[in-house]
Amino acid sequence: MKRAFLTLLAFTCCLLSFAQPTGNNVNRPKLVVGIVIDQMRWDYLYKYSPFFDKDGGFLRLLNNGFSCENTFIPYTPTVTAAGHTSIYTGSVPAIDGIVGNTWINRQNNKTVYCADDDTAKTIGAADEAGEMSPRNLVVSTITDELRLATNFSSKVIGVSIKDRAAIFPAGHLANAAYWYDAVAGNFISSSYYMNELPAWANDFNKRKLTDSLYKLNWTLSLPDSVYQQHCGNDEQPYERKPFGDNQTHFPYTLTSFIKKDYTKIDVTPYGNTLLEAFAENTVVNENLGRNTNTDFLTVSFSSPDYIGHSFGSESWEQMDDYIKLDKTLGKFFAFLDAQVGAGNYLVFLTADHGVVNSPGFAQQHKLPGGSFNEVMLANSIKQLMLVKYSSPNIIKGLNEDQIYLNHDIIDSLHLNEDEVINSIIQFTEQRPGIARAFALKDLSATTLTPVQKQMYSNTYFPQRSGDIQYVLAPGYVAGDGMGTSHGLWNPYDAHIPLLWYGWNIKAGKTNRETYMTDISATVAALLHIQMPSGCVGKVIPEVFKQ
């Protein structure tokens, strides 16, 4: 009897172990492609759309995909590291820890670069440009969650010209992140991910595509009159001259940089061409979109940011850059159709931040705004501290519109900290170009508007944030008045495009207010994977086909 029972048990176990699961297979795309355009205001979609290819790049997404027309960044500072992090974490700096491109370390007073990692080594060049990793990021990314959901069988790779724009999107568990080392003229990586570049990446670098692109020089895509009509004059007194003082207008000669200077490509549309070529190589050589599980490629185009900072948002250079970027995107989508198959990949396209009009342009046209010199502010506060409290070192420094205090010195001088803070606030608020200043610890008690209060509170991370926040007046921008910049709460910096296209995305648009943090929440819902660990965003159900 006992033997019969055991035989039956063994038979049942055998049956169970060979039983086929009968549940639903999770339906997912072959590949997710996250595209970030560095420094793209939402209105650029329409400002430049007369010059975009019909159904090629931007318009393929806008006309056939889904557009979230009112997508905002819910925090300040609206800068590259914080933006790329928020897009891929669904989180905000107060939770994810990436409070800016840099911050001041409270222990040693040193400025920390967001992606710095002194335990990491450069892979692919003999310099320090690869001593980077996502270690300062304290939450998971949507790309991490995809790796976790598939027991690490999904491949995740991040590519960009900028290191931070490749590293944070790709997350902690990435198979690789690659960025452009402008000194070496190579795409490089970090020992965080690998011990050596794959052979295909070395081969790509050996081609020195940058030199071939320099040979083409930078000429306009359309007749001069079109740019004149849309942007005014080519040469403006507030434009920088990144290609040398003798080059002040189109066409720009780039041949003199061949084999000499690999940095200049960043400030041309060829930075986008170079990155797209590297992205195609990544997809082919890593078989992205042809593996068993969903893969994820993050691509961040940095050149619009370099061009905007140099020439301003209303320049011929930026208009031509977007016309050429549109063609580059069209080429990339056609490549993905052929390589992965139309309908098999999911795309979202967004920006890490927008940008304000050049302060010089604002002044020319009697608009409110101007440039704000933060070095002068820092020096004058130090002078104030010297006169009032006999020590200029009461402030450690300024970073991302925040003032950091040296609490040890305040203690050793037996000063009343609130009194020190109030004296700095009163002084700072009187400076031209500054709208408000307040102690971050007292944020909830300020009379800021609810929108501003929420945006500043979404960035307060005590270990990395400063003590006093100042808010520039609308139209004002930190710097020397040349080119332009971004980083504030205002719509020109915070209103970004958000387009969805491809697998399981319907055509349409919404004017409902959505947020940068909703992107990862929505990707998680589309893929049926867990939201990242610090995600505060909400799913945008309107984009789903089913």
Of the two residues 354 and 537, which places its CB atom closer to Zn ion in the complex? 354
Whichever of 38 and 181 has its CB closer to Zn ion, that residue is 38
**Tokens at 170, concatenated:** 């790709």
CB 70 within 8 A of CB 28: no
Beta carbons of 65 and 502 less than 8 angstroms apart: yes
Shortest distance, position 491 Cβ to Zn ion, whole Å: 17
Smallest distance, Zn ion to C-beta of residue 353, A: 5
Among 144, 276, 286, 305, binds Zn ion (CB under 5 A): 305
Q: What secondary structure, in 3-state letters, does 408-447 show?
A: HHHHHCCCCHHHHHHHHHHHHHCCCCEEEEEEHHHHHHCC
Would residue 80 show up in a list of annotated catalytic residues for this protein? yes
The least distance separating Zn ion from the CB of residue 302, rounded to whole angstroms, comes to 7
Distance from C-alpha of 320 to C-alpha of 23, rounded to nearest angstrom: 52
Q: Report the nearest approach of Zn ion to the CB of residue 250 (Å).
A: 25
Choose the stretch contacting Zn ion; rule: CB under 5 A; options: 62-70, 134-142, 284-292, 348-356: 348-356
Which three-class secondary structure state does DSSP give residue 280?
Answer: helix
Report if residue 352 touches Zn ion, rule: CB under 5 A. yes
Within 8 A by CB and 6+ apart from 83, the residues are 36, 73, 351, 352, 353, 516
User: Quick one: CA torsion of 319, 321, 324, 330, rounded to 10 degrees?
Assistant: -100
Residues 310 and 243: beta-carbon distance below 8 Å: no
Q: Tell me the C-alpha distance between 475 and 470, whole Å.
A: 15
How many residues touch Zn ion (CB under 5 A)?
4
- Asked if residue 38 binds Zn ion (CB under 5 A), the reply is yes
To the nearest whole angstrom, how small is the minimum distance from the Cβ of residue 81 to Zn ion? Answer: 8
Quote the least distance from Cβ 483 to Zn ion, whole Å.
Answer: 14
Interior angle at CA 484, CA 104 and CA 300, nearest 5: 70
Which lies closer to Zn ion via its Cβ, residue 28 or residue 41?
A: 41
Q: Judge whether 346 and 502 are in contact, CB under 8 Å.
A: yes
> Which listed range, 38-46, 122-130, 426-434, 510-518, lies at the site for Zn ion (CB under 5 A)?
38-46
Task: Quickly tell me which residue has 């500043």 as its tokens.
Answer: 456
Amino acid of residue 404: Y
Nearer to Zn ion, 80 or 282 (CB): 80
Peptide bond into 532 cis (omega under 30): no
**The dihedral formed by the CA atoms of 332, 337, 342 and 343, expressed in degrees to the nearest 10:** -50
Calculate the CA 277 to chain-centre distance: 20
Please say which residue, 38 or 320, places its beta carbon nearer to Zn ion.
38
Among 76, 78, 80, 210, binds Zn ion (CB under 5 A): 80
- φ and ψ of 205, to 5 deg: -65, -40
Binding part of the chain for Zn ion, among 43-51, 111-119, 309-317, 352-360 by CB under 5 A, reads 352-360
* Cβ closest to Zn ion, residue 352 vs residue 374: 352
Question: Least distance in Å: CB of 158 to Zn ion?
Answer: 15
CB-based burial of residue 110 (10 Å sphere; 0-12 exposed, 13-18 middle, 19+ buried)? exposed
CB of 496 to Zn ion, least distance (A): 11
Q: What are the tokens at 440?
A: 């971050």
Taking the least distance from each CB to Zn ion, the nearer of 295 and 317 is: 317
Q: Which residue is nearest to Zn ion (CB)?
A: 80
Say which of 71, 76, 80, 459 is annotated catalytic. Answer: 80
- What's the min distance (Å) between Cβ of 162 and Zn ion? 8
- Interface stretch with Zn ion, choices 31-39, 354-362, 382-390, 411-419 (CB under 5 A): 31-39
**Choices 35-43, 59-67, 134-142, 309-317 (CB under 5 A): range interacting with Zn ion:** 35-43
Secondary structure element (H or E) that encloses residue 383, with its range = helix 374-389
Among the listed ranges 47-55, 299-307, 372-380, 394-402, the one in contact with Zn ion (CB under 5 A) is: 299-307
For 446-457, give the secondary structure using H, E and C. CCCCHHHHHHHH
CA 11 to chain centre: 58
217-256: which residues touch Zn ion (CB under 5 A)? none
* DSSP codes joined into one string, 307-356: HHHHH-TTSHHHHHHHHHHHHHHHHHHHHHHHHT-TTSEEEEEEES---P
- Whose Cβ is closer to Zn ion: residue 41's or residue 155's? 41
Binding window for Zn ion (CB under 5 A); candidates: 169-177, 300-308, 311-319, 516-524: 300-308
| 400 forms part of the interface with Zn ion (CB under 5 A) | no
CA 309/CA 12 separation, integer angstroms = 70
Our separate counts of H helices and E strands in the chain read 20, 19
Q: Please, which residue, 42 or 257, has the CB nearer to Zn ion? A: 42
Q: At what angle do helices 80-89 and 142-149 cross, to 10 degrees?
A: 30
Q: Which is nearer to Zn ion, 159 or 197 (CB)?
A: 159
The letter for the amino acid at 266 is D
CB of 179 to Zn ion, least distance (A): 13
Give contact residues for Zn ion (rule: CB under 5 A).
38, 80, 305, 352
Report, as residue numbers or ranges, the catalytic residues: 80
